[in-house]
Structure 1
């Protein structure tokens, strides 16, 4: 039980809070792990045992299944909470800014892994609302729907 609780604590303390610098090429975020150990928390990738029945798992696989279940649920709920909500009609919606650090919503992200990027270009539609942006990540530049991006909570 102690191992599961420590792994859950690592999941919670791995979340990005804000960019460390304003440099557009720097994709390193400040995390609660920086305050605890001086660097971001990481983990070794594990085999996914979430679809295996409980009675067929060893003790370590059961611990990994509990951690994986917590990560998937918390990751999904945390990112949903970060997303901007639409304002009522008649008010101006604040657009995403160029240079903002964003989290990319990935459905099958491994635990303690947060895909980050910087907005480098906005693509407004005919109505002037930006629904697609170009994001620079470690793997290159991608066009993403703005609804699949979350601005870091302290970036706003």
Structure 2
């Protein structure tokens, strides 16, 4: 009937609100304010006082705190450059698969095989190499085969996930920079740099982790059709080549219904500048036909491909689907709770 009036900005008010907030087991403002009023206290501007106490409550932050987020950063320059394919590469190691190495009197001798996936950061094409072991020489051989087929790369990126951390231990490579003399010398000879993503930053490796998931699903479907037959090294290499061809033939942009653009843009088109396997044109061709403006036709075709890549694909990468607004950064002295996973 006659509640006790208390000012909002007072130490006693804060103690009272904190006491009843703990009484209702850290519920919201409605519960806390009701408990204060039922105890016979009338706080002038009580809603603000209760809200301030709940905002500074460490237990409430722990129970119902939101994860910190910031505006989505711009894409790295590697994703937007128009350099030749596989100039900027992200790589990872995945596997293993049991392989029948040889037949013996007692049965089949089995071993394991891993795969190194190289993903072009600009056109999202992939290249897969099979390695026999997780040692330095096998990994260097995979790099040599990749450079021999696709050309030297300027930058190699990799993450610090569980798959690659185990590979780093086997290859004796530090997570931040390369400390293996053989690999470091080989990279220096090819004018190549290696950058490792920060630990626990799996979002920075999304461009090639996504490709690993796609490759795994295609390979699992192939192995299912393979049945119970023993998997050999040759069969696995063939499967990986087919997986590479399927992934590189995927559309980079939305499939258009416009009849004037019937051809879809794929990584394979940017790699080979071919729409598919066209039949051999009829007629007789002589050597002097090679010098009749062929280089102009090839150059024009390449410009058409890269123009579509810039207009249709790059423009779609700039959209921010989440984390669109800028938020205040954490300051020194803030109480935070780390969330793992």
TM-score, with normalisation over the residues of structure 1? 0.24
Q: Which has the larger radius of gyration?
A: 2
- Higher strand share goes to which structure? 1
Q: Which has the higher contact order (CA 8 A, sep 6+)?
A: 1
Of Structure 1 and Structure 2, the greater helix share is in 2
